[in-house]
Structure 1
Amino acid sequence: MEAQGLCDLHTHTTASDGMLSPAENVRLARQKGLAAVAITDHDTVAGIPEALEAARQYGITVVPGIEISTRMKGKDIHVLGYYMDYRESVFLERLEGLRRTRDERNGLIIARLNELGIPITIEEVENRLGRPLEPDETLGRPHIADVLVAKGFAADFRDAFDKYLAEGAAAYVSVPRLSPGEACQWIREAGGVPVLAHPGLYGDDELVCSIIEQDKPAGLEVSHSDHNAAAEAKYRSMAESYGLIPTGGSDFHGVRQGVVFHGELGGRTVSIRALDLLQAAAQERA
């Protein structure tokens, strides 16, 4: 099916826990006929320059983005940001702090796994990359899952999360994080537009509504690989009722241990017109 005029506003690269480089994400988006793709790595903007360079090569629009990890009422909440100034010094300093928190969380997960009788080290996780970790890149739970599968402690990537790494699993660790409201404010102060990511994953629509009402994100991720048709319809209606920009994306991470995490790039899209709305929102706050 021709996908002209569509965009995937949620993809991850090797700058965080994706399997493909930023340039490869852009190439794949062009191959699939998309008009635009957003690079939204976890707590880092390190992949954006390479993606923008590839955009010129492949003739496709790249949206600079990010996915910031936050926590509220005992749940991990993710906030997407679009069109922020990814070179702004205060924003970069704040992201560096988030990555230190992520590193702390990774160390605690490793310690918990060791307590469970699973001999794994952070050095093994880093070595599994097959290359040095670049400045401003981040390691995440998928990298730890890779080692668990490789060492035979999990059957596959999903099994590693279900047994050890997902929220509530045996080695899951929660560390203090900023609130969704703080993430929204950081994105706005960097000139960007905050969007509440994948509301269906939180299992708490009352909390979702509370975040929307208190923290005033400009958009809601209506279409997502883990939203079925009923969930998409529900969150589209929610976005309309709150006057939010409905966005969407695959949450593409690539293939690990034969398992596609969340969805294929281009598997969930929105009209290119969503970019006009996001850009207008960014200019309105400028």
Structure 2
Amino acid sequence: MNQKNQVSKDTLPDRARYDLHMHSTASDGMNTPKELVRLAAERGLKGMALTDHDTVAGVQEAAEEAELVGLEFVPGIEISTRAGEKDIHVLGYFVNPADGLFLERLAGLRGIRDQRNDLILQRLRELGVDITLDEVKDRGGRPLKPGESVGRPHMADVLVRKGYAVDLRDAFDRYLAEGAAAYVTPPRITPAQAADWIREAGGVPVLAHPGLYGDDELVREVIEAAKVIGIEVRHPDHDAAGEERYREIANEYELITTAGSDYHGVRQGVVFHGELGAYVVGEGVVNALRSARFPTESRSHSDR
């Protein structure tokens, strides 16, 4: 999490600005897809990508609103994987949100996410922390819609609301972060599998926020195994030294360098990760990602 509230004034090779990492209420964000598009337009962005966790349920709403306000929209996703005993996230850009096989695969991932939620809640109960799945799914009065998912930020909200934690940071540090008292994760797909799924859905795989993994050797292993096209160099949880390190790795592997705020909205008065529009790329990066797409035929359930 990060409390940066000011949009940076980065000098880019072109003046068009794109934020390529954010989350809506379709996963663990606080804003609807439509609200994110409006916020991006208000902040002078030329375009944005919606990258919800393991779901594309918000993509259509965001795309329709982007067309209305004249914003360029990139359909995206962030897939949860596991490698080297670490949770690794793989971003996918320009995926086909109507690809039937992709949708089936994502439904399976959300099933794994549901298993994880149950295991975390069980661990919390063992620790004397009484929160229920219904409270988590309620999401402050906005129940789940089909294809949407809940995650640890929703649990953190409940922990704070019921007095088990002072704020979101405390909730994660004490209970929910990797290595914390209630953290648990079931078996997940590998980054290479996620990258293959993204490619097969017509998209471009990019390694998300490598600095969060705390293991640059693992980052290299993932890059080589998954054959990602890009790496997220600028992110709210990367310091200047980290950015420079990942630029060097990008150059070494000839990867596209991307950036994104990882905006989840405002919880308990705190911006979760970075402020929307604070970490951006120019139009050239978006065009490079678009050009890197693998051609694929659209699938539907009737095709299978």
| Higher RCO (CA-CA < 8 Å; seq separation 6+) | 2
Pairing of 1:53-68 with structure 2 (within 5 A): 53-68=64-79
TM-score, scaled relative to structure 1: 0.97
2:111 and 2:190 map into 1 onto residues whose CA distance is 16
| CA distance in structure 2 between the partners assigned to 1:213 and 1:258 by the alignment | 40
AA aligned opposite 2:140: L
Between the two proteins, the alignment pairs up a number of residues equal to 286
Separation (CA, whole Å) in 2 of partners of 1:99 and 1:129:
21
1:1-286 aligned within 5 A: 4-283=15-294
Measured after TM superposition, the shift of residue 5 of structure 1 is 0.3
Q: Distance in 2 between matches of 1:240 and 1:2?
A: 21
| Paired residue secondary structure (2:40) | helix
After TM superposition, give the deviation of residue 2 of structure 1 in Å: 9.1
SS at match of 1:114: helix
Unaligned residue ranges in structure 2 (runs of 5+): 1-8, 298-304
Provide the alpha-carbon RMSD of the alignment: 1.4
Q: Distance in 2 between matches of 1:138 and 1:284?
A: 29
Distance in 1 (alpha carbons) for counterparts of 2:111 and 2:38:
31
Unaligned runs of 5+ in 1: none
CA distance in 1, matches of 2:296, 2:218: 26
Give me the whole-angstrom Cα distance separating, in 1, the residues matched to 2:293 and 2:136: 38
Query: Is this contact kept in 2: 1:55–1:61, CA < 8 A?
Result: yes
- The TM-score with structure 2 as length reference comes to 0.92
AA matched with 1:263: G
Aligned partners of 2:237, 2:141: CA distance in 1, in Å? 30
Separation in 2, partners of 1:32, 1:107: 38
SS at match of 2:137: helix
Report SS of the residue matched to 1:119. coil
C-alpha deviation, 1:129, in angstroms: 3.3
Per the TM alignment, residue 284 of structure 1 is displaced from its structure 2 partner at its CA by 6.4
CA distance in 1, matches of 2:159, 2:272: 16
Q: Distance in 2 between matches of 1:53 and 1:250?
A: 22
Displacement of 1:240 in angstroms is 1.2
Distance 1:194 1:81 in 2: 5
Q: In the TM superposition, what whole-angstrom CA distance separates every residue of 1:220-277 from its partner, at most 9, and x where no partner exists?
A: 0011111111111111111111010101100000011112111100111111211110
Per-residue CA distance 1:96-143 (angstroms, 9 max, x = gap) = 000000011001111111110011110111223312210000000000
Aligned residue for 2:23, secondary structure, equals coil
Runs (4+) off by over 4 Å? 1-4, 283-286
What CA distance in whole angstroms lies between the structure 1 residues aligned with 2:143 and 2:273?
Answer: 26
Counterpart residue identity of residue 194, structure 1: P
Cα 1:276–1:283 change in 2 (3 A) is farther
**Distance in 2 between the 1:180 and 1:76 partners?**
10
C-alpha contact 1:5 1:272 (8 A) present in aligned 2 = yes
Q: What's the % identity of the aligned pairs?
A: 60
AA aligned to 2:32 is S
| Bigger mean CA deviation after superposition, 160-169 or 210-219 | 210-219
- Distance in 2 (CA, whole Å) between partners of 1:285 and 1:101 is 27
Q: Distance in 2 between matches of 1:11 and 1:128?
A: 18
